[in-house]
Structure 1
Amino acid sequence: MGAVLVAQVRTGRGKGYRNRLAAQGKIPAVVYGKALGSVPVEVSLRDLKKVLGGETIKGKLIDLKIVGDGWERQEKALVKEMQHNPLTGELIHVDFHQVSLTEEVTATVPVELSGEPVGVKKGGVLEHFLREVEISCLPTALPEVIKVDVSSLDVGDTIFVRDLPVPPGVKVLADPGEVVATVVEEEKEEEKPEEAS
């Protein structure tokens, strides 16, 4: 595991409190878990981004150190939900779920395509439909991303969920027949006669 994210137990509430947090470069968050219940905390936005590796993705497993108000413990936690400001896109709230390393968790991971399909070189168009997928596995087996090599796809070829290259111990919860990506023929724009107005 990489860096540890410090989560300070918070006592404040309301808009004024959130504004004070924002002025300090922090955001409110909540840690849920069997052993913890529900603990309201605040975290440094900069530290959170650093721990997430610059990517604000759900399903990332991190080391979370909960301190303050009588708390002093370190837990493995999943980033479960994120709320963004609809205007600025900035992260404004996070839900963490404390996990046991011996119990399976469900998480959503991004699906990335790599390579240039054969069919695209022939003039086809690559369409990427499924950009993230829900999986189930032990926290230690959690992949950050599922990469799919599409370079062998010809026009008319399709990659389905069942074709995803997942690591051992990882179960994909999506429909096996769901389309991840496909190469289609480029639509030729037909000359349309101009309509008289």
Structure 2
Amino acid sequence: MKVIAFNRNLQGSGASRRLRIAGQTPGIIYGGAEAPVMIQLDGNALYHALKKEAFHGSILDMEIDGKTQPVLLRDFQMHAFKQLVLHADFQRVDANSKLHKKIALHFVNADVSPAVKLHGAIVSHVLQELEVSCLATDLPEFITVDLTTIDVGHSIHVADLVLPKGVTAITHGKNPTVATAAVPAGHVSADAAATAEAAPAAPAAKGKKK
């Protein structure tokens, strides 16, 4: 994805406020051997780009004055109630160094899992994203979580995930839960309903003789 930015010469809260009034968003690029660079971006274009998942988890081509460099979105601040991006931080990408980045999780095949298909369970997504370590060239746009085999009372953990080649999960020695399956209170599973339907009715109690 390509991002067009311009050098920003004026700094300070007053200059940033004037930029926002003019429809621009102040930002910064840092990292690598070069000094940080103050930039400004089209505020409306940036606002809509932030709605795209790929913008958060992909290497971006940042063009400034005709020169392009690879960067990652590192942080951004939104206005409390306006559709306005207050500031955006980007980090330069070194092709030879591993980077840390939080990647979105995509959950698939819950509808064919035993938990949902046989027991009417609800699969809860405990994690929505996962921090990983990899080279920029191996950075995935998202990580797929296959729920095909999950059953009631079972969980999927980070160690169960199939990560793309060159990608390592950062878990700090733990094995966090990614998803769980549980039957809602009062819900009768398909198996239990079929068993109850097949069971013979209990004989009516006979009255006592007088």
Shorter-chain TM band: 0.7 to 0.9
2:52, 2:95 → 1: CA distance? 25
Deviation at 1:54, TM superposition (A): 2.6
The structure 2 residue matched to 1:159, chosen from 156, 160, 164, is 156
In our comparison, the structure showing a higher alpha carbon Rg is: 2
Q: Which runs of 5+ in 1 are unaligned?
A: 190-197
Aligned-residue offset at 1:19: 3.4
Amino acid at match of 2:146: D
Pairwise CA distance, 1:49: 5.3
Output one character per residue of 1:129-157: Cα deviation in whole Å (capped at 9) or x when no partner. Answer: 11111101110110111121213211112
Q: Which of residues 84, 88, 95 is equivalent to 2:89?
A: 95
Alignment of 1:45-194 (within 5 A): 45-48=43-46, 54-55=52-53, 58-67=56-65, 73-88=67-82, 90-115=84-109, 116=111, 117-121=113-117, 122-174=119-171, 175-188=173-186
Contact 1:109 1:133 in 2 (8 A): yes
Structure having the higher helix fraction is 2
Cα pair 1:111 1:132 within 8 Å, conserved: yes
Report Cα offsets for 1:81-114 as digits up to 9, x if no partner: 1212222364321111101112111111111211
Aligned residues: percent identity? 30
- Indicate if the aligned counterparts of 1:28 and 1:41 stay in contact, CA closer than 8 A: yes
Q: CA 1:76 to 1:171, structure 2 compared with 1: closer, same or farther past 3 Å? A: same
Q: Which runs of 5+ in 2 are unaligned?
A: 188-210
Change beyond 3 A, Cα 1:131–1:37: same
2 CA distance for matches of 1:53 and 1:62? 15
Structure 1 segments, 4+ long, off by >4 Å, are 49-53
The answer to whether the Cα contact below 8 Å between 1:5 and 1:51 also exists between their aligned partners in 2 is no
- C-alpha separation in 2, matches of 1:84 and 1:125: 33
Report the secondary structure of 1:48's partner residue: helix
CA RMSD across the alignment: 2.4
Structure-1-length-normalised TM-score: 0.81
